[in-house]
Structure 1
């Protein structure tokens, strides 16, 4: 219960810090940079270097690939059938098909399922969500949007994303049977321990929602898909694959919960860069995060009472 309370308290602190005139306006950007360059690499090194690599791990890795492909087909069909604008379709696909499996997903999963759950969440995020956002999402943005950045430049920037580079390094350590230990492990544990409060305080500081912004019905199409339909898809598919296998129940639970996270912040950045309804892309993230705290509770209890 303490860990769950920490999520709400951290976000509330971030919201309150918005009100302080003397607090730096660019503080969220600084906190996000700290998470990207320090904490997330530490998390990857700490956990991925020790994880037992099995075929079952293909399930969490596949979450983002399955949900994004389904979202592309789903909104692509609806958009064509009802003659939606192409930038609206592109925005819904990119933001509705990718979960915030890192900044929000890591601390939430860690709070609910502990370190073992976090190891699985990293697999959902790095070889899953991150690779999808740097590949399929760019393809969708190029098809539906007005390109403002060269694909080569975006791909290069994403491929050099520090957490992803350290994820690859951690995989190498794992394959060489060289897990992080001793003093290095202690240092990484201290750095990784700041993930939950810092990430969620940064999220809280960036929540700025106006009443008039919530009248766009496409916004609610995107949120309904992201918070209910996408996790339902993973719940049904993985339920058939895993069934009642007790050894893989944690993989099942984390996969569904990660699929139910709010839209990914990076997906919103890509949508905006390609002029795919930038305002709606921001709102899908800004509204999606606080709403997802309630819908995640729904999915948590669905999993609890059906498994």
Structure 2
């Protein structure tokens, strides 16, 4: 529960810093640059290089890929049909398609389902969410960014995006069985540990909730999609695949719960970096995380009812 408390405190710190006149107004931009160029590469090197690559347990690994693909299809279609702005479509795809399966997901899953549940959550997060955010999310951000780019330019921007570059490096280290240890591992862990507080402080700095923000239909579209529609889809798909008594299946329960987590913190970082409705992205994370505590309780009791 300490991790969840840190999430709440970090957001509140960011909101409080808005009241300090001496605090730089462009601080969120500087913090996001630090996260993009330092922290996310460190996270890639630390975790992807140590990941055990195998074909086992493909169902939990597939959660993030299904969620992001469905979000891309849905908001891509709705955006075209109703002529939404491109930066709005991109923001909704990225924030609606990336679940906070790690920092928020890990402690919640461990608290509910114990260490066996946590092992499944790691599969949802590392080869799932982390690979999606390092690849598909960057492609979407490039496509829906302010500048309309050619396919070659999109590929170039993704390949030169620091977290993706270090993801490739980490994957090579993994395949070559090069283990990161000692001082290097300690340094990477130190930088990685700053991800959540710094990212959420940046989110809090950008949360200025005004009446018109709450009335923004896109905010509620995004929250309803992420907290209700997406976990419902995973529930139905995995219920059909597993058949029999999925209520007894831990993979089924953890997959649904992880799909129902609020938007990933990194989704707000990417949206801000590519100027995809930064304010909307911050609200989807800042409001979505505390709201998800209530919606996750609903999904938990539904899953327990299947017993």
- TM-score (normalizing by structure 2): 0.76
Deviation at 1:123, TM superposition (A): 3.0
2:292 to 289, 292, 296: 296
**2:98 is aligned with 1:94:** no
Q: Is the 8 A contact 2:79 2:89 kept in 1?
A: no
The 5 A counterparts of 1:118-267 are 120-136=124-140, 138=142, 141=144, 148-151=147-150, 152-241=152-241, 243=246, 244-246=248-250, 248=251, 252=255, 255-258=258-261, 260-261=262-263, 264-265=267-268, 266-267=270-271
Partner of 2:44: 44
Separation in structure 2 between the aligned mates of residue 133 and residue 30 of structure 1, nearest angstrom: 21
Separation in structure 2 between the aligned mates of residue 22 and residue 119 of structure 1, nearest angstrom: 43
2:105 to 109, 112, 115: 109
Separation in structure 1 between the aligned mates of residue 56 and residue 89 of structure 2, nearest angstrom: 28
Q: Is the 8 A contact 1:6 1:197 kept in 2?
A: yes
Separation in structure 1 between the aligned mates of residue 97 and residue 179 of structure 2, nearest angstrom: 24
SS at match of 2:177: coil
Q: Is the 8 A contact 2:257 2:296 kept in 1?
A: no
Deviation at 1:11, TM superposition (A): 0.8
CA shift digits 1:220-269 (9 cap, x unpaired): 233322332123222332454464454x47962674145x4269333466
Structure 2, unaligned runs of 5 or more = 111-117
CA 1:271–1:34 in 2, change beyond 3 Å: closer, same or farther? Answer: closer
Separation in structure 2 between the aligned mates of residue 182 and residue 76 of structure 1, nearest angstrom: 45
CA shift digits 1:115-155 (9 cap, x unpaired): 9656742433342134223335655x49xxxx634234444
- Figure out how many residues of one structure are paired with residues of the other and give that number: 288
Separation in structure 2 between the aligned mates of residue 254 and residue 154 of structure 1, nearest angstrom: 33
CA 1:61–1:270 in 2, change beyond 3 Å: closer, same or farther? Answer: farther
Structure 1, unaligned runs of 5 or more = 273-280
CA shift digits 1:174-223 (9 cap, x unpaired): 12222212222222222222222112111111212321233343442333
